[in-house]
Amino acid sequence: MITVVGSINIDLVATVGHAPGPGETTVARDYQVHHGGKGANQAVAAARLGAPVRFVGAVGDDDFGGQLLSGLDSEGIDTQAIKRVSGSSGIALITVEHGGENRIIVIPGANGTLAADALSPAVFEQSSVVLLQLETPPAFVAAAIDRAHDAGAEVVLNAAPAASLDALDMARVNWLMVNAGEAAYLLDEIESTDLNTARRHGQMLAGKFATGVVLTLGRQGALWIARDGSHGHAAAFDTNVVDTTGAGDTFAGAFAVARMQNRSIEDAIRRAAAAGALSVRRQGAQAGMPSAAELEQLMADAAR
């Protein structure tokens, strides 16, 4: 069982030729509504790959809340630990530019109401992997990490969006997962996808937080540094980029599935990179997430 603790949003997506600058109005070429939120995205990614998934989070009592719950139910995700609270559900305003790059504004809504009392003793039962992000309140994330660790689960923290980790007991986190920008933020360094610089940043993060590190680098693939000092790099898969929204979440969900399956860290990174590559071929965060069959086909093709 994978337990995902995190945010659930409605994504309002505008497709534009270029993102507007200060004081500029840009006319969108298209507008769509998708189900999203980093937590929900990662849960869907894991469920699509065949894993049993439980979700812990909150939605509002608005129309969006009902839609979001129905969407997760349709993916076979256990939603019993999702609270329905008064007020708005989480909303993300997204622009997707030509070439697939995106810019996102998140309005927390119900996600911002989450507290430790949402974590019942049964939440982490039978969980081999617990996956978390930073779109919910720090105190809630901290409590979830502590309880997941105490339950014996492997704890994976995707430190996104970039934020301080001071409130968290990182000794209880098995894997800190970040992209190049998030790594730079945590280290107060300049962002870089240069492999040598990225390796240095990964080593610095592993030393600073005394935990394993997974650093995703887009077209440069991903690298990892384990607590025992072992490390490696997985190249990116060639792909046709339509929309990068949700690629990192797909990577995280696929990584959690591989670890639940007791795959090695090297194999988990490789499979996560493949899943991420598949996800950018279609528009929408959850709409682009691959099935287990699609992932296995790409892995088989790559092995030839």
Rounded Cα–Cα distance for residues 144 and 153 (Å): 11
Here the tokens at position 157 are: 């923290």
**Who's near 104: CB < 8 A, 6+ residues apart?**
92, 93, 94, 245
Antiparallel, parallel or unpaired: β 2-5 and 30-36:
unpaired
Using the structure block, give the residue that is written with the tokens 């590190």.
Answer: 213
Rounded Cα–Cα distance for residues 273 and 257 (Å): 13
**Who's near 212: CB < 8 A, 6+ residues apart?**
174, 175, 176, 206, 224, 225, 226, 227, 265
Cα first-last separation, the chain: 32
Antiparallel, parallel or unpaired: β 129-132 and 2-5:
parallel
Is residue 249 part of the annotated active site? The answer reads yes
Rounded Cα–Cα distance for residues 42 and 170 (Å): 21
Using the structure block, give the residue that is written with the tokens 């394993």.
Answer: 212
Strand-pairing partners, residue 54, are: 3, 78
Here the tokens at position 303 are: 């092995």
* Closest to 78 measured CA to CA, from 20, 33, 123: 123
From 30, 228, 249, 267, the catalytic residue: 249
* Closest to 8 measured CA to CA, from 103, 52, 72: 72
Q: Which residues are catalytic?
A: 249
